Chains A and B, each alone.
Chain A
Amino acid sequence: ELKVEQNPLFLSMQEGKNYTIYCNYSTTSDRLYWYRQDPGKSLESLFVLLSNGAVKQEGRLMASLDTKARLSTLHITAAVHDLSATYFCAVDIRSNYQLIWGAGTKLIIKP
Protein backbone atom coordinates (compact mmCIF):
# COMPACT_ATOMS: atom_id res chain seq x y z
CA GLU A 1 0.00 0.00 0.00
CA LEU A 2 1.27 3.43 -0.94
CA LYS A 3 1.71 5.60 2.15
CA VAL A 4 2.92 9.10 2.83
CA GLU A 5 3.41 9.81 6.51
CA GLN A 6 4.08 13.18 8.02
CA ASN A 7 5.22 13.91 11.52
CA PRO A 8 4.44 15.57 13.65
CA LEU A 9 0.78 16.07 12.76
CA PHE A 10 0.54 19.03 15.12
CA LEU A 11 3.25 21.41 16.20
CA SER A 12 3.03 24.42 18.47
CA MET A 13 6.17 26.47 18.77
CA GLN A 14 7.44 29.85 19.83
CA GLU A 15 8.55 32.55 17.47
CA GLY A 16 12.27 32.54 16.86
CA LYS A 17 12.68 28.78 17.26
CA ASN A 18 13.78 26.25 14.65
CA TYR A 19 11.95 23.06 13.83
CA THR A 20 11.68 20.32 11.21
CA ILE A 21 8.69 18.55 9.70
CA TYR A 22 9.30 15.06 8.30
CA CYS A 23 7.69 13.34 5.34
CA ASN A 24 8.28 9.60 4.83
CA TYR A 25 6.93 7.70 1.85
CA SER A 26 6.71 4.03 1.03
CA THR A 27 7.27 3.84 -2.72
CA THR A 28 9.91 4.84 -5.21
CA SER A 29 9.61 8.43 -6.28
CA ASP A 30 11.95 11.18 -7.36
CA ARG A 31 9.49 14.05 -7.22
CA LEU A 32 8.04 15.48 -4.05
CA TYR A 33 5.97 18.59 -3.40
CA TRP A 34 5.39 20.73 -0.35
CA TYR A 35 2.20 22.77 -0.11
CA ARG A 36 0.89 25.25 2.42
CA GLN A 37 -2.77 25.63 3.40
CA ASP A 38 -4.10 28.49 5.51
CA PRO A 39 -7.36 27.94 7.43
CA GLY A 40 -10.32 28.04 5.08
CA LYS A 41 -8.07 28.62 2.09
CA SER A 42 -6.78 26.49 -0.74
CA LEU A 43 -3.40 24.88 -1.25
CA GLU A 44 -0.38 26.93 -2.25
CA SER A 45 2.65 25.31 -3.84
CA LEU A 46 5.86 25.93 -1.89
CA PHE A 47 8.51 23.62 -3.31
CA VAL A 48 8.97 20.86 -5.83
CA LEU A 49 11.97 18.60 -5.24
CA LEU A 50 13.02 16.72 -8.34
CA SER A 51 16.00 14.56 -7.45
CA ASN A 52 17.96 12.93 -4.69
CA GLY A 53 19.79 15.53 -2.63
CA ALA A 54 17.64 18.39 -3.91
CA VAL A 55 17.43 21.36 -1.57
CA LYS A 56 15.18 24.37 -2.03
CA GLN A 57 14.94 27.45 0.17
CA GLU A 58 12.46 30.30 0.34
CA GLY A 59 12.76 32.75 3.18
CA ARG A 60 12.66 30.87 6.49
CA LEU A 61 11.65 27.57 4.87
CA MET A 62 14.05 25.00 3.47
CA ALA A 63 13.05 21.66 1.97
CA SER A 64 15.25 18.70 1.13
CA LEU A 65 14.81 15.27 -0.41
CA ASP A 66 16.61 11.97 0.19
CA THR A 67 15.17 9.47 -2.27
CA LYS A 68 17.23 6.59 -0.93
CA ALA A 69 15.79 7.06 2.56
CA ARG A 70 12.39 8.00 1.06
CA LEU A 71 12.41 11.05 3.28
CA SER A 72 11.83 14.74 2.82
CA THR A 73 12.20 17.44 5.45
CA LEU A 74 10.80 20.94 5.73
CA HIS A 75 12.94 23.02 8.05
CA ILE A 76 11.71 26.23 9.61
CA THR A 77 14.32 28.72 10.76
CA ALA A 78 13.56 31.42 13.32
CA ALA A 79 9.81 30.91 13.01
CA VAL A 80 7.45 33.88 12.73
CA HIS A 81 3.70 33.98 13.31
CA ASP A 82 2.96 34.35 9.59
CA LEU A 83 4.21 30.82 9.00
CA SER A 84 1.30 29.39 10.98
CA ALA A 85 -0.53 27.07 8.56
CA THR A 86 -0.96 23.41 7.67
CA TYR A 87 1.87 21.99 5.57
CA PHE A 88 1.35 19.02 3.27
CA CYS A 89 3.84 16.90 1.42
CA ALA A 90 2.77 15.01 -1.68
CA VAL A 91 4.68 12.32 -3.54
CA ASP A 92 4.49 11.87 -7.28
CA ILE A 93 3.78 8.28 -8.28
CA ARG A 94 5.67 8.10 -11.53
CA SER A 95 3.66 5.31 -13.03
CA ASN A 96 0.61 7.52 -13.42
CA TYR A 97 1.82 10.96 -12.35
CA GLN A 98 -0.62 11.10 -9.47
CA LEU A 99 0.12 12.70 -6.14
CA ILE A 100 -0.24 10.78 -2.90
CA TRP A 101 -0.72 13.21 -0.03
CA GLY A 102 0.32 13.18 3.58
CA ALA A 103 -2.20 14.03 6.29
CA GLY A 104 -0.66 17.45 6.88
CA THR A 105 1.21 19.07 9.76
CA LYS A 106 -0.68 21.83 11.53
CA LEU A 107 1.84 24.42 12.64
CA ILE A 108 0.99 27.08 15.21
CA ILE A 109 3.60 29.70 15.97
CA LYS A 110 3.02 31.71 19.10
CA PRO A 111 4.37 35.23 19.58
Chain B
Amino acid sequence: EAGVAQSPRYKIIEKRQSVAFWCNPISGHATLYWYQQILGQGPKLLIQFQNNGVVDDSQLPKDRFSAERLKGVDSTLKIQPAKLEDSAVYLCASSLWTEETQYFGPGTRLLVL
Protein backbone atom coordinates (compact mmCIF):
# COMPACT_ATOMS: atom_id res chain seq x y z
CA GLU B 1 0.00 0.00 0.00
CA ALA B 2 1.43 3.37 -1.00
CA GLY B 3 2.00 5.82 1.81
CA VAL B 4 1.27 9.53 2.08
CA ALA B 5 3.10 11.42 -0.66
CA GLN B 6 4.31 15.00 -0.32
CA SER B 7 6.18 17.37 -2.58
CA PRO B 8 8.46 19.13 -2.72
CA ARG B 9 10.72 17.64 -0.07
CA TYR B 10 12.73 20.81 0.39
CA LYS B 11 12.08 24.46 -0.37
CA ILE B 12 14.13 27.58 0.22
CA ILE B 13 12.48 30.96 -0.34
CA GLU B 14 12.96 34.54 0.70
CA LYS B 15 10.59 36.25 3.08
CA ARG B 16 7.50 37.73 1.48
CA GLN B 17 7.59 35.14 -1.31
CA SER B 18 4.87 32.55 -1.82
CA VAL B 19 5.14 28.80 -1.57
CA ALA B 20 2.82 25.83 -2.05
CA PHE B 21 2.99 22.28 -0.79
CA TRP B 22 1.17 19.26 -2.15
CA CYS B 23 -0.06 16.13 -0.40
CA ASN B 24 -1.61 12.92 -1.69
CA PRO B 25 -3.04 10.81 1.14
CA ILE B 26 -3.32 7.05 1.36
CA SER B 27 -6.04 5.82 -0.98
CA GLY B 28 -9.41 5.66 0.73
CA HIS B 29 -8.45 7.85 3.67
CA ALA B 30 -11.19 10.37 4.30
CA THR B 31 -9.34 12.54 6.81
CA LEU B 32 -6.34 14.66 5.92
CA TYR B 33 -4.23 16.80 8.24
CA TRP B 34 -1.59 19.46 7.76
CA TYR B 35 0.87 19.97 10.60
CA GLN B 36 3.70 22.40 11.20
CA GLN B 37 6.70 21.00 13.08
CA ILE B 38 9.28 23.47 14.27
CA LEU B 39 12.69 22.04 15.10
CA GLY B 40 12.71 20.46 18.56
CA GLN B 41 8.93 20.54 18.98
CA GLY B 42 5.99 18.26 18.44
CA PRO B 43 3.71 18.73 15.43
CA LYS B 44 1.13 21.50 15.60
CA LEU B 45 -2.12 20.95 13.73
CA LEU B 46 -2.84 23.62 11.13
CA ILE B 47 -5.93 22.26 9.44
CA GLN B 48 -7.99 19.07 9.30
CA PHE B 49 -10.17 18.00 6.40
CA GLN B 50 -12.87 15.37 6.33
CA ASN B 51 -13.30 14.51 2.65
CA ASN B 52 -13.37 17.98 1.06
CA GLY B 53 -14.74 19.81 4.10
CA VAL B 54 -12.77 21.62 6.78
CA VAL B 55 -13.21 20.12 10.25
CA ASP B 56 -10.90 22.49 12.08
CA ASP B 57 -8.65 25.33 11.01
CA SER B 58 -8.52 27.21 14.30
CA GLN B 59 -4.70 27.25 14.39
CA LEU B 60 -4.19 28.19 10.75
CA PRO B 61 -2.85 31.76 10.36
CA LYS B 62 -5.48 32.66 7.84
CA ASP B 63 -3.94 35.99 6.93
CA ARG B 64 -1.13 34.15 5.18
CA PHE B 65 -1.93 30.43 5.08
CA SER B 66 -4.58 28.73 2.98
CA ALA B 67 -5.37 25.11 2.23
CA GLU B 68 -7.78 23.26 0.02
CA ARG B 69 -8.85 19.73 -0.74
CA LEU B 70 -11.20 20.31 -3.61
CA LYS B 71 -12.02 16.76 -4.69
CA GLY B 72 -11.59 15.14 -1.30
CA VAL B 73 -8.34 13.45 -2.27
CA ASP B 74 -5.11 15.43 -2.60
CA SER B 75 -4.54 18.75 -0.91
CA THR B 76 -2.43 21.87 -1.21
CA LEU B 77 -1.18 24.19 1.52
CA LYS B 78 -0.08 27.68 0.54
CA ILE B 79 1.80 30.40 2.37
CA GLN B 80 1.60 33.92 1.01
CA PRO B 81 3.61 35.91 2.00
CA ALA B 82 6.11 33.83 3.95
CA LYS B 83 7.76 35.05 7.14
CA LEU B 84 11.02 33.95 8.74
CA GLU B 85 9.11 32.18 11.51
CA ASP B 86 7.42 29.93 8.95
CA SER B 87 10.66 27.96 8.62
CA ALA B 88 9.63 24.46 9.67
CA VAL B 89 8.73 21.03 8.40
CA TYR B 90 5.21 20.79 7.02
CA LEU B 91 3.77 17.35 7.53
CA CYS B 92 0.74 15.89 5.87
CA ALA B 93 -1.04 12.96 7.48
CA SER B 94 -4.11 10.94 6.63
CA SER B 95 -6.38 8.53 8.42
CA LEU B 96 -9.21 6.28 7.40
CA TRP B 97 -11.57 8.33 9.53
CA THR B 98 -11.19 10.97 12.25
CA GLU B 99 -10.53 8.64 15.17
CA GLU B 100 -8.18 6.27 13.40
CA THR B 101 -4.39 6.18 13.46
CA GLN B 102 -2.77 8.96 11.46
CA TYR B 103 -0.14 8.05 8.87
CA PHE B 104 2.41 10.70 8.02
CA GLY B 105 4.15 11.68 4.81
CA PRO B 106 7.87 12.48 4.60
CA GLY B 107 7.28 16.19 5.09
CA THR B 108 8.42 19.34 3.29
CA ARG B 109 11.30 21.23 4.87
CA LEU B 110 10.81 24.97 4.35
CA LEU B 111 13.54 27.51 4.98
CA VAL B 112 12.59 31.16 4.76
CA LEU B 113 15.55 33.53 4.39
Contact = CB atoms under 8 A, between A and B. Distances in A.
A43 interface: yes
Contacts, number: 43
A99 B102 contact: yes
A101 B56 contact: no
Looking at chain A's contact residues, is the secondary structure mostly helix, strand, loop, or mixed? strand
* Residue with the highest number of chain A CB atoms closer than 10 Å, among B43, B44, B45, B105: B43
A45 B107 contact: no
Nearest to A35: B104
A97 B104 contact: no
Interface string A72-111: 0000000000000000101010001111011110000000
B32 to A, nearest CB: 13
A42 interface: yes
A104 B89 CA distance: 15
B102 A45 contact: yes
Interface of B: 40-45, 48, 55-56, 91, 93, 98-99, 101-107
Interface of A: 4, 31, 33, 35, 41-45, 48, 88, 90, 92, 96-99, 101-104
